[in-house]
């Protein structure tokens, strides 16, 4: 009986207490309970390319079933290096400058655990992906935030410069950005790079949506002059190839930084699933520019469909420039805050979405009038969501 165990034995460690259960688990659970269309957690409800699944089955049948090389199977490390060269003209030594992880989530955790000392500060933006504060906290480090403000989420370079202090060791960047859909512009990246160089900061760059941009292409900050040496670039097989449940991700950068990530990774998970790494290598090696173009075109169609749905019921959302989320302003529709609105939308209307205050740490009220909808869903799902939203919320004049 838990009740008879001294409370110290069953309590969550102090450093994890602020985080509770993630908003993604909570909202997906609520969606399941109410049989709502789930536009909350960002996972595709369709399959990635069939040949990739077959490649994983083949890798298993061929006996690739034991622990892999800790930093990643050689084929995948080489495929990641090839991808970075083809897409961004970045030259990497696959054996020393690439690491494979259990998703970008583990890569980020390996970065904070491998690179930061307790008490170090990392500067990032809010809204932010929910795993970042926890990754910093588990390393004993502290995240500090600069708020990107609705509706354009422009970078306030002066606020960022002011936030840099003697303990700041790194900037944590996410572009294309979850949940705003912002793709950092070249000038913004130049400003960030300038500050990183001036203050001798590392950059941890989460680029899991690198192939999901609609207008201006994504630019990895590592490609800016003088930035490769100080940047860890992270990406995710799950996002680009629609296999989020495989949890395969990678990071690349100079050996000095990658050796720290790989050192931590040895003791967090040691390696990610071997046959899945073989399949990921084939995806990177065999899918050419057509795949990436079609990927973006399919998402552009889903984006347009969802935005039409939302705007017809007064949920004003700017066109996201990247990633697969639309961030709508709920003020024309409700007086409730985002948490109450998302609960009601799930329970009464039958469409689940994410309350974005979960992505704010400093200024939670900035997220209280917003609502995040994921469009990594089939057109059938998006049509079903449209029917429910149009039936459940009053239509407004365009």
Residues in contact with ligand GLN by CB under 6 A are 22, 24, 41-42, 178
**Which span (5-13, 241-249, 332-340, 379-387) binds ligand PMP, by CB under 6 A?**
241-249
If one counts every other C-beta atom within 10 angstroms of the C-beta of residue 384, the result is 15
Residue 376 in the binding site for ligand PMP (CB under 6 A): no
Kindly tell me which residue out of 112, 124, 174, 205 binds ligand PMP, with binding defined by CB under 6 A. 174
- CB of 351: closest distance to ligand GLN in angstroms? 15
292 close to 235: Cβ distance less than 8 angstroms:
no
Q: How many residues does the chain have?
A: 398
Site residue total, ligand PMP (CB under 6 A) = 15
> Using CA atoms, how far apart are residues 307 and 279, in angstroms rounded to an integer?
34
Other beta carbons within 10 angstroms of residue 276's beta carbon come to 26
Binding to ligand PMP (CB under 6 A) within 245-304 occurs at 247, 249
Closest residue to bound ligand PMP by CB: 103
Q: Estimate the share of the chain in helix, then strand, then coil, as percent rounded to the nearest 5.
A: 50, 15, 40
Nearest residue (CB) to ligand GLN, 228 versus 375: 375
Whether the Cβ atoms of residue 202 and residue 169 lie closer than 8 Å to each other: yes
**Residues in Cβ contact with 252 at an 8 Å cutoff, skipping those fewer than 6 apart:** 80, 81, 84, 90, 92, 97, 98, 99, 222, 232, 233, 258
Residue numbers 28-67 binding ligand PMP by CB under 6 A: 42
- Select the binding partner of residue 24 from ligand GLN, ligand PMP, none (C-beta < 5 to 8 A, by kind): ligand GLN
How far apart are alpha carbons 369 and 335 in whole angstroms?
A: 9
Q: 223: which residues sit within 8 A by CB, 6+ positions away?
A: 88, 89, 90
> Is residue 207 a contact point for ligand PMP (CB under 6 A)?
no
DSSP H helical ranges for 2-122: 7-10, 23-33, 50-61, 74-88, 103-115
Nearer to ligand GLN, 191 or 327 (CB): 327
Partner whose footprint covers residue 236, from ligand PMP, ligand GLN, none (CB < 5 to 8 Å by kind): ligand PMP
Query: Least CB distance from residue 24 to ligand GLN, whole Å?
Result: 3
Of the ranges 136-144, 156-164, 242-250, 373-381, which one interacts with ligand PMP (CB under 6 A)? 242-250
| Residue pointed to by tokens 């689940």 | 352
338 touches, from ligand GLN, ligand PMP, none (C-beta below 5 to 8 Å by class)? none
Is residue 104 within the footprint of ligand PMP (CB under 6 A)? yes
174 interface partner picked from ligand PMP, ligand GLN, none, CB below 5 to 8 A per type = ligand PMP
Per rule CB under 6 A, is residue 178 in the interface with ligand PMP? Answer: yes
Q: Which residues contact 191 (CB under 8 A, 6 or more apart)?
A: 155, 157, 160
Contact between 358 and ligand PMP per CB under 6 A: no
Nearer to ligand GLN, 94 or 103 (CB): 103
Residues that bind ligand PMP (CB under 6 A): 42, 103-105, 129, 174, 178, 206, 208, 236, 238-239, 244, 247, 249
């Amino acid at each position: 009986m838990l009740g008879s165990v001294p409370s110290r034995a069953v309590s969550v460690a102090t450093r994890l207490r602020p985080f509770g259960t993630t908003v993604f688990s909570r909202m997906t659970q609520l969606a399941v309970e109410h049989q709502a269309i789930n536009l909350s957690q960002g996972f595709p409800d369709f399959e990635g390319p069939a040949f990739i699944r077959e490649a994983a089955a083949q890798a298993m049948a061929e006996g690739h079933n034991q622990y892999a090389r800790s930093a990643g199977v050689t084929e995948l490390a080489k495929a990641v290096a090839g991808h970075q060269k083809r897409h961004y003209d970045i030259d990497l030594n696959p054996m020393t400058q690439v690491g494979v992880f259990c998703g970008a989530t583990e890569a980020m955790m390996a970065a904070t655990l491998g690179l930061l000392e307790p008490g170090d500060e990392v500067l990032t933006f809010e809204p932010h992906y929910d795993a970042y504060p926890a990754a910093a906290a588990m390393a004993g480090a502290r995240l500090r935030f600069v708020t990107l403000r609705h509706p354009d989420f422009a970078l306030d370079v002066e606020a960022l410069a002011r936030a840099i202090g003697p303990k700041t060791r790194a900037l944590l960047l996410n572009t294309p950005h979850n949940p705003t859909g912002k793709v950092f512009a070249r000038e913004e990246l130049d400003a960030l790079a300038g500050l990183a160089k001036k203050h001798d900061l590392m950059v941890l760059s989460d680029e899991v949506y690198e192939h999901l941009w609609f207008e201006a292409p994504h630019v990895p900050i590592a490609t800016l002059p003088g930035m490769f040496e100080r940047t860890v670039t992270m990406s995710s097989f799950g996002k680009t190839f629609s296999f989020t449940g495989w949890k395969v991700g990678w990071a690349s950068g100079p050996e000095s930084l990658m050796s720290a990530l790989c050192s931590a990774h040895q003791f967090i998970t040691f390696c990610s699933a071997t046959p899945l790494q073989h399949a990921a290598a084939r995806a990177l090696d065999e899918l050419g520019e057509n795949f990436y173009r079609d990927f973006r075109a399919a998402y552009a169609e889903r984006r347009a469909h969802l935005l039409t749905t939302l705007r017809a019921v007064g949920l004003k959302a700017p066109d996201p420039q990247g990633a697969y989320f639309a961030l709508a302003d709920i003020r024309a529709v409700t007086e409730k805050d985002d948490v109450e609105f998302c609960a009601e939308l799930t329970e009464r209307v039958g469409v689940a979405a994410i309350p974005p205050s979960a992505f704010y740490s400093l200024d939670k009220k900035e997220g209280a009038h917003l609502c995040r909808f994921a469009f990594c869903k089939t057109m059938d799902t998006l049509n079903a969501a449209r029917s429910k939203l149009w039936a459940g919320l009053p239509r407004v004049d365009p």
